[in-house]
């Protein structure tokens, strides 16, 4: 099974700042089959990015993703108040599909 | 747009079988090219993919749960279901149903709101 390790565990930032999250895979993820989700308390996760860098429908362009080998990056260019949440990466390149443990983006 | 809604008992006794149903609205399970999936999340923890089913009944399960999981589909009711047998406290979690992307693309969108299942006597 592909293990995804997210870092940092918590990111403390202010609105307007740039957030950069990392997700490292334990082995190659075929075709960059990696997605990013946002989860707020009491809510289901929401798909933001798929295919490592494609934004889902209706997702603002301040959210972006990239891939380099087994390292994946997710960036929020300018944090809005509604962006403070937990973010998960998920791979679907090898069964079973697996998730990272999450990065919490909190208000500094 | 497609919406999903989980339903089922919120409390299950240890050693019994957890049963949940996901009702799909705004779209048909039988007419699309999507897999339909179950995912769970223990309180304060991360997400775990349980398994998925296609409209023709083809399934795939997480090996960590495979011996206890059954996912089925009822296209006439536009529903799919999860059964998890021999539950323990470790199976206490919020259970989500979700739709996978087209043609087996394993990203999940949309999700149901989730339902909390507690395993306790």
Q: Output the pLDDT for position A84.
A: 97
> Looking at residue B101, what is its pLDDT?
87
Which residue from A44, A88, A101 is facing B96, i.e. has the nearest CB?
A: A44
Supply the pLDDT for residue B104.
76
pLDDT at residue B38 in the model: 98
Q: What is the pLDDT of residues A34-81, one digit of tens each?
A: 999 999 999 999 999 999 999 999 999 999 999 998 999 999 999 999
When pLDDT is cut at 50, 70 and 90, the band that residue B105 belongs to is confident
Q: Do A46 and B111 count as a contact with CB atoms less than 8 A apart?
A: yes
> Which of B46, B96, B98 minimises the CB distance to A101?
B46
Q: What is the pLDDT of residues B70-92, one digit of tens each?
A: 999 999 999 999 999 999 999 99
3-state helix/strand/coil string of chain B: CCEEEEECCCEECCCCCEEEEEEEECCCCCCCCEEEEEEEECCCCCCEEEEEECCCCCEEECCCCCCCEEEEEECCCCEEEEEECCCCHHHCEEEEEEEEEECCCCCEEEECCCEEEEECC
């Amino acid at each position: 099974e592909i293990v995804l390790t997210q870092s940092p565990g918590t990111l403390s930032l202010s609105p307007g700042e740039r957030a950069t999250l990392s997700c490292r895979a334990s082995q190659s993820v075929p075709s960059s089959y990696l997605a990013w989700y946002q989860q707020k308390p009491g809510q289901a996760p929401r798909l933001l990015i798929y295919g490592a860098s494609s934004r889902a429908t209706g997702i603002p362009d301040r959210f972006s993703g990239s891939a380099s080998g087994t390292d994946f990056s997710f960036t929020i260019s300018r944090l809005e108040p509604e962006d403070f949440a937990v973010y998960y990466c998920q791979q679907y390149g090898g069964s079973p599909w697996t998730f990272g443990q999450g990065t919490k983006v909190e208000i500094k | 747009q497609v919406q999903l809604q989980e339903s089922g008992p919120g409390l299950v006794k240890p050693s019994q079988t957890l049963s949940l149903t996901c009702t799909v609205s705004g779209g048909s399970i039988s007419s699309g090219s999507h897999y339909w999936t179950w995912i769970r999340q223990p309180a304060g923890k991360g997400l775990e993919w349980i398994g998925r089913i296609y409209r023709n009944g083809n399934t795939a399960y997480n090996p960590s749960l495979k011996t206890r999981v059954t996912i089925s589909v009822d296209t006439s009711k536009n529903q799919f279901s999860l059964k998890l047998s021999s539950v323990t406290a470790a199976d206490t979690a919020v259970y989500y149903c979700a739709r996978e992307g087209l043609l087996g693309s394993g990203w999940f969108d949309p999700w149901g709101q989730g339902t909390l299942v507690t395993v306790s006597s």
